[in-house]
Structure 1
């Protein structure tokens, strides 16, 4: 009796087709990923010469750094860079000045700026209108600065720096500075001080006549108030004119930034009527004349404005609510400007476009 022979069943065509489709899709996906990586991670970092220095600011993030590269069309597919950073770098940007050499890839640059040891120089950014306390905190937190004085109490710091003043506020020039890694905080502060004194001496020598300042230090104090009162450079001389005329006429300055400075840590982001009525050494609503010291680090431009006020008759100003201020020579005109400002605030609060 003949035995039956079992035949192996032929592969299912549909199963074979699905498997082939998956393999092909994986190859295509891999090719796409490689192409995206070539335009992002492995792309040569664009520089203009064989080597170029690149500055990374304190507080800058990888996300912002990568977004800026994409915005300047230096890389494609920034999402690839962000994913790589999250998966493989696990760190934050470190402030400093780094050397990028021709031929370095974007990936190599991303890894380089995660380690402060790779920095060639340290970038010190002092922002106009910040206080000396904020400058000290920035230096204390900077890993590339050698701390020798910034952790001392202010009286001891002043003695260590050897400066001929009773207070340190206002004595240091806002600007961007570059120092070698490991530079001492004392050297940095003395450099910033010398820059500020040069700014002050130059402006004082060229000052307008008949100003109500007894000395250069009072002009520096006024400059610090101007720096805090307006963020518009074109308004500095106008605000200066208002305050100079108030001093000349025996009026009180009545400027909020001095009150805030005098409150110190008690200020919680909003001034009350009680705050304006509470006397301090810096409350220009309850005292006449200038406060005893500057209230911030004024820029060169603010110093020049303090010594060259405008020549109008304005003695009042109030915010417009749209940016900037309205200046007035009479109380009636000022009151009208105040009402316009309050109207703008009400319209904004109601969601209308003023």
Structure 2
């Protein structure tokens, strides 16, 4: 009798061990089977618990059953500490990899790029097309006030580069980051500027940098272009630069500048006004600002595009007119 009981107990133990092994095998398969058909974003809402996740995964086709869900929680409690956010799930990721990602708190970083020479109007268009970002609702003056700036326009005050952000971040936070970055760059370069420059303030250097940015086809020309405008300012000669005319025309600009546009009196038309325009005309790069503060040492007063990205520089009007005939009029 005792022997029979012992055999029964041994058999039961074997059965239990077998069931445990089978269950472990099922859970391992449940956790390690590839679930993601192609790389995708997955958003875990604020306040979501582990028990809420299985239905969401099933709804999005990332889980076929919640049969082993509670067992996973028991065997792997370290995978249950979910953090809300938007995450990128890689192709062929398993449930275990998905849970590890959702526990990491390292949300997916979207990005938005602003190019050198763009305007604030361009930035608004770019932001309006950016993914998962809360739009700007304030007008330009309200934003300037929030930033604590005394400038009349945001033009030139934002540093153009690629910015990363989390899902549903406000566009204003990117504007603020770009504003603070530009302040840091300007402060550093202004402190290291050349002597005897015709700028009274860092803001005037920004204005010049924005003009250089719009006029420079090649980076190598920036310091020489800067020298032309600096030389003109020093002798009281008008800058006469087309990008300022275009900026002053605003939405009326259709891709062409006519003679009447050069004669039109706007606050920005440097053919009709002396000195610098009242604000920058674009967002300059750090390189353009450096050129404005470290112009080449030249006697140049003119330059003209050669049509290949390079510019031809002249010291006098006769030489400049000859270059215009050659490179612009083809004479």
Is the Cα–Cα contact under 8 Å of residues 161 and 186 in structure 1 kept in the other structure? no
Is the Cα–Cα contact under 8 Å of residues 247 and 289 in structure 1 kept in the other structure? yes
Is the Cα–Cα contact under 8 Å of residues 219 and 303 in structure 1 kept in the other structure? yes
**TM-score normalised according to structure 2 size:** 0.67
Q: Distance in 2 between matches of 1:259 and 1:208?
A: 28
> Does residue 126 of structure 2 align to residue 138 of structure 1?
yes
Deviation at 1:254, TM superposition (A): 0.0
Q: Distance in 2 between matches of 1:132 and 1:158?
A: 12
Q: Distance in 1 between matches of 2:222 and 2:167?
A: 36
Is the Cα–Cα contact under 8 Å of residues 208 and 308 in structure 1 kept in the other structure? yes
| Equivalent residue, structure 1, for 2:296 | 310
- Residues 98 and 330 of structure 1, relative CA distance in 2, 3 Å threshold: farther
Match of 2:109 among 103, 121, 125: 121
Any unmatched runs of 5+ in structure 2? 1-36, 42-85, 94-106
Task: Say how many residue pairs are matched.
Answer: 237
Match of 2:235 among 249, 257, 267: 249
Match of 2:143 among 157, 163, 175: 157
| Equivalent residue, structure 1, for 2:250 | 264
Deviation at 1:241, TM superposition (A): 0.3
Q: Distance in 1 between matches of 2:180 and 2:149?
A: 10
Deviation at 1:102, TM superposition (A): 6.7
Deviation at 1:103, TM superposition (A): 4.6
Is the Cα–Cα contact under 8 Å of residues 260 and 267 in structure 1 kept in the other structure? yes
| Equivalent residue, structure 1, for 2:165 | 179
Any unmatched runs of 5+ in structure 1? 1-43, 46-50, 54-96, 105-118, 347-354
| Equivalent residue, structure 2, for 1:18 | none
- The RMSD of aligned alpha carbons is 2.2
Is the Cα–Cα contact under 8 Å of residues 140 and 151 in structure 1 kept in the other structure? no
Q: Which has the larger radius of gyration?
A: 2
Query: Residues 184-210 of structure 1, C-alpha deviation per residue, up to 9 Å, x if partnerless?
Result: 122111110011011111110100000
| Equivalent residue, structure 2, for 1:216 | 202
| Equivalent residue, structure 1, for 2:305 | 319
Query: Residues 13-53 of structure 1, C-alpha deviation per residue, up to 9 Å, x if partnerless?
Result: xxxxxxxxxxxxxxxxxxxxxxxxxxxxxxx99xxxxx9x9
Q: Distance in 1 between matches of 2:132 and 2:213?
A: 29
Q: Equivalences for 1:1-354 in 2 at 5 Å?
A: 99=88, 101=90, 103=92, 120-147=108-135, 150-344=136-330
**TM-score normalised according to structure 1 size:** 0.63
